[in-house]
Amino acid sequence: MAGMSGKRLQKELAKIQGVLPPGITLVSAPDLQTWHMDLRILDNPLYPPHDHYRLKFSFSKNYPIEAPEVVFLRLTTDPRRDIPIHPHIYSNGIICLDLLDAQGWSPVHNVESICISIQSMLASNTKDERPPGDAEFVRSNRARPRDINFLYHDPSV
Amino acid sequence: MTLRGMRRLEARRQMEESNFLLSKARSQNLNPPVDFRLLDYVTAYDDNLMCAICRCPFVDPVVLAECDHYFCRDCIRQSWGSTYSPSGPRGDCPQCRTPARLGTRSATSKILVNILDDLLVKCPKHEEGCPVSVKRGEVEDHMNIYCGYAYQECAGERCELPVRRKDADQGCLHFGVSCFDCHETMQKSTLENHWRSECAVRRVTCPRCNMHVLSKDLDSHNSETCEAVSIPCPGASIGCTSRSKRSQAQTHAKSCTFAKLAPVISSQKSRMDEQEAAQKLLSRKLEVLETGFGVMQGILYPKVSVEADDLAADESRIPFLDNSASERTLPPHHPRMFSGDSSGNALSPFDFPVPPTSRPSSAAPGVARRASPIGLPPSESAAALRQHDPIEAYNTNYDLASPGLPPPSTSGGPYVSPLHHLLSMHESLRDEMSRVNSALQELDGRHSMQTLNENLRTREEISYLGAQLAGLSRQVHWLTSTQLQRQSRSATPSAVAGSSSEMAGTSVEAAVNAVSTAATALRGAARMVSVGQGQSSSGSHGPMRRENSAEGRTKL
Ligand SMILES: [Zn+2]
Ligand SMILES: [Zn+2]
Ligand SMILES: [Zn+2]
Ligand SMILES: [Zn+2]
Ligand SMILES: [Zn+2]
Ligand SMILES: [Zn+2]
Ligand SMILES: [Zn+2]
């Protein structure tokens, strides 16, 4: 099983080092467990096109049967990265996206398709706000993203 | 007969399977079963042969009867892990989310299985040194029977430890030795592997260049640094067929035109690929925009053809349109937007509020075909028409009718797919529609206010005229009565006086007549105003109205 995960990630990495859709770049993949990707939103005044956002992917040995853990990172040193404002992204970087939880995940998804989904989720956003109860959540949450049961309060976004 | 035959077949199949499982179990002790999804493929394979879950060519492919998607048997079982039910594996298709169950084995096409089995793979032990490439269908045989690097039981007496097949005839190798170079102790059977990949001291002589290299680096030496290995010219990709020893490659490259051009050409090529990808994206966007534009025009056209005659006949609307347009501070090119369409008719914004259902729907596809400017196939335009529901599409008219509002932001950056693009365009059109709707309501309110004001003013004028008339008739009465008194006083004295009084009488009569004519004219005017009041919503064009509308418009 671990073998399959590694093999698939190797293949994805080889593909990702080739051509990627505009606005998505691979920053580093030091091992096959953790990847860093940079995201740029090209089409939304809420996110200036020159701002990059850093995504961190963590793969379990059950990938792709199990979804990877995907969060935004805040970097305070150069290069600076912030966490995009979105009603489904908490200020600690946790993303509330049905694709990434156990019910919504499908093993046919991959790093590229996840990046595209997050990118289009941001591109279609019109609200300059955090999810309701963000401060409370960020203060109290100690669970890993995959163990959180999000309520998809607004499936249209 | 057939039933018995079936049973016999079934029995044989079961026996074969159990035999196979037995032999597999025996060899598993020493060699773990080959996981086909971990094999390295020698040749490139078609993407259609790739399982969407493990991204390898299918291993034991199964097809989901409900949606025809193929997966490896193990892949689909693993992804359905938690939803395994007694009636067989079932779950949602990972690709299309159709609830499905596993199809029968016979459902997968034999051709597919044969193609998959013919793919060339490297021996699973290639990292340990086996150089063999075999067809995928024969990998297990290779491992179980031929591969020199697979393990088997040691031939030594009372020794049951595993040994590589190629070393089996050297007798039992399970005795301790130590590496000549690093003095690490190990079993003889693992010494070779130690040299191959671990020993940090042992050096061997390269058979080609006679250089001493670390034994574990020999592979990379051969492929990367060995001076004696001949490598192709750097310009090989653009035509140089020369191969030279690595040591002489530099000298060749200096004189080879191909080699000099290669980096330039490859950078050009990558730039061209980039441009091509960008262009593809743009043409995709253009196509979507054109389709959207075609839809808009398609809805614009039928109304133009229906109302063209009315509009052309009714000239009084055009100044009205110009006026209202300038007062809403529209850009000067506004009228040109209408003259741009082929019928050349000016369209007043007031001509649009026809209920969408009244649009002849049968005319739409034909019009869309006419409207799509750059040879879009009609089926595509029609499909695009279907994608917009009529109400949304209908409202796109307002974009053209009121260009003073910001244009819809559909011309933005790249979209992930045309669907995304259409969705966002749909959203912006919806916004536009609500804006235009409210603008229209406001306009309607102003219009009725204007009518009201006009009527008010007319009524005031009439009452003023009436008051004047009353005053006039009072004066006439007074004149008549004084005249009559004077007449009766001087009736007898003289004929001259009588004739003069007669003259006065006729003049008074003429005055009375004039007053009554004025009264009739006033009544006529009053009637006209009341008629105008009744018709004002549909727009009357009597002289009165035209006179007053100049004032009314300044208020609008
Ligand atoms: Zn698979
Ligand atoms: Zn399916
Ligand atoms: Zn082999
Ligand atoms: Zn032995
Ligand atoms: Zn050694
Ligand atoms: Zn050498
Ligand atoms: Zn050359």
Q: Which residues lie below 8 Å from residue A63, measured CB to CB, with a gap of 6+?
A: A5, A8, A9
Q: With both helix axes pointing from N to C terminus, report the angle between B418-489 and B543-555 in degrees, rounded to the nearest 10.
A: 130
Please check whether residues B413 and B540 belong to one and the same domain. no
Helix, strand, or coil here: A148? coil
Residue B339, domain member (yes or no): yes
Cβ contact B413–A4 (<8 Å): no
Q: Domain of A103?
A: 2-131
Please check whether residues B407 and B332 belong to one and the same domain. yes
Please check whether residues B177 and B112 belong to one and the same domain. yes
Q: Are B57 and B41 in contact (CB under 8 A)?
A: yes
State residue B84's pLDDT score.
53
Q: Domain of B541?
A: 458-555
Instruction: Classify burial at B106, counting beta carbons within 10 Å of its beta carbon; exposed 0-12, middle 13-18, buried 19 or more.
Output: exposed
Domain boundary among B453, B487, B518: B453
Residue B232, domain member (yes or no): no
Please check whether residues B435 and B473 belong to one and the same domain. no
Which one is catalytic: A71, A96, A115, A122?
Answer: A96
Residue A155, domain member (yes or no): no
Instruction: Classify burial at A33, counting beta carbons within 10 Å of its beta carbon; exposed 0-12, middle 13-18, buried 19 or more.
Output: middle
Please check whether residues B520 and B415 belong to one and the same domain. no
Please check whether residues B382 and B491 belong to one and the same domain. no
pTM over 0.90: no
> pLDDT tens-digit profile of B66-91?
888 888 888 888 888 765 555 667 78
State residue B179's pLDDT score.
84
- Among B320, B372, B328, residue whose Cα is nearest residue B351: B320
The reply to whether A96 belongs to the active site is: yes
Please check whether residues B428 and B503 belong to one and the same domain. no
Residue B551, domain member (yes or no): yes
State residue B532's pLDDT score.
52
- Please name the member of B35, B94, B281 whose beta carbon is closest to the beta carbon of A108: B94
User: Mean pLDDT over residues A43-63, rounded?
Assistant: 90
Reading the block at residue A22, the tokens are 């505009």
Supply the DSSP symbol for B350: G
Residue burial B18-53, b: 16+ Cβ < 10 Å; e: rest: eeeeeeeeebeeebeebbbbebeeeeebeeeeebbb
Give which of A108, A120, A121 to mutate to test B binding, by max B Cβ within 10 Å.
A108
Residue B384, domain member (yes or no): yes
| B424/A contact by beta carbon, under 8 A | yes
Residues of chain A neighbouring B414 (CB-CB closer than 8 A): 22, 42-43
Helix, strand, or coil here: B126? helix
Cβ contact A43–B415 (<8 Å): yes
Please check whether residues B444 and B463 belong to one and the same domain. no
Residue B56 Cα to ligand 3 middle (Å): 20
- Tokens 């203060």 belong to which residue? A139
State residue B135's pLDDT score.
93
Residue B106, domain member (yes or no): yes
Bridge partners of residue A28, in order along the sequence: A36
Residue A143, domain member (yes or no): no
Reading the block at residue A112, the tokens are 């590229």
Domain boundary among B147, B164, B182: B182
Contacting B with CB below 8 Å, chain A residues are 1, 3-4, 7-8, 11-12, 19, 21-22, 42-43, 49, 64-65, 106-108, 110, 116, 119-120, 123-124
Residue B245, domain member (yes or no): no
Q: What total of structural domains would you count in chain A?
A: 1
Give the gap in angstroms from C-alpha B410 to the nearest C-alpha of chain A.
10
CA distance A51 to A82: 9
| B54/A contact by beta carbon, under 8 A | yes
Domain boundary among B182, B197, B225: B182
Please check whether residues B478 and B449 belong to one and the same domain. no
Q: Are B290 and B376 in contact (CB under 8 A)?
A: yes
Give the gap in angstroms from C-alpha A104 to the nearest C-alpha of chain B.
10
Cis before A79 (ω within 30): yes
Supply the DSSP symbol for B168: G
Please check whether residues B474 and B436 belong to one and the same domain. no
Residue B205 Cα to ligand 5 middle (Å): 16
What is each CA distance from A45 to A122, A126, B417, in whole angstroms?
A: 11, 9, 20
Q: What is the CATH number of the domain that holds B127?
A: 3.30.40.10
Residues of chain B neighbouring A1 (CB-CB closer than 8 A): 78
How do beta strands B70-72 and B61-63 pair?
antiparallel
User: Mean pLDDT over residues A88-117, rounded?
Assistant: 90
- Please name the member of B52, B281, B423 whose beta carbon is closest to the beta carbon of A108: B52
CA distance B310 to B343: 13
Task: List chain B residues with pLDDT less than 70.
Answer: 1-3, 19-29, 82-88, 103-107, 303-416, 491-505, 507-508, 511, 524-556
CA distance B335 to B325: 8
Residues of chain A neighbouring B35 (CB-CB closer than 8 A): 3-4
- Among A132, A135, A91, A95, residue whose Cα is nearest residue A115: A95
Element of type H or E holding B205: strand B203-205
State residue B103's pLDDT score.
61
Residues of chain A neighbouring B413 (CB-CB closer than 8 A): 42-43, 49
> pLDDT tens-digit profile of B295-327?
888 888 775 554 444 544 444 444 444 444 444
| B52/A contact by beta carbon, under 8 A | yes
pLDDT band at A87 (very low <50, low <70, confident <90, very high): very high
DSSP B30-88: TSPPP-GGGPPBSS---GGGB-TTT-SB-SSEEEBTTT--EEEHHHHHHHTGGGEETTE
Please check whether residues B402 and B534 belong to one and the same domain. no
Residue B307, domain member (yes or no): no
Give the gap in angstroms from C-alpha A24 to the nearest C-alpha of chain B.
12
Beta carbons within 10 angstroms of residue B134's beta carbon: 20
Please check whether residues B540 and B397 belong to one and the same domain. no
Residue A156, domain member (yes or no): no
CA distance B506 to B522: 24
CA distance B427 to A125: 12
What is each CA distance from B25 to B29, B150, B164, B501, B527, in whole angstroms?
A: 7, 15, 18, 149, 111
Give the gap in angstroms from C-alpha B127 to the nearest C-alpha of chain A.
15
CA distance A123 to B418: 14
State residue A113's pLDDT score.
92
Q: Which ligand is nearest to the CA of B64?
A: 2
Q: What is the CATH number of the domain that holds A52?
A: 3.10.110.10
Residues 60-89 of B with CB under 8 A from A: 75, 78-79, 81
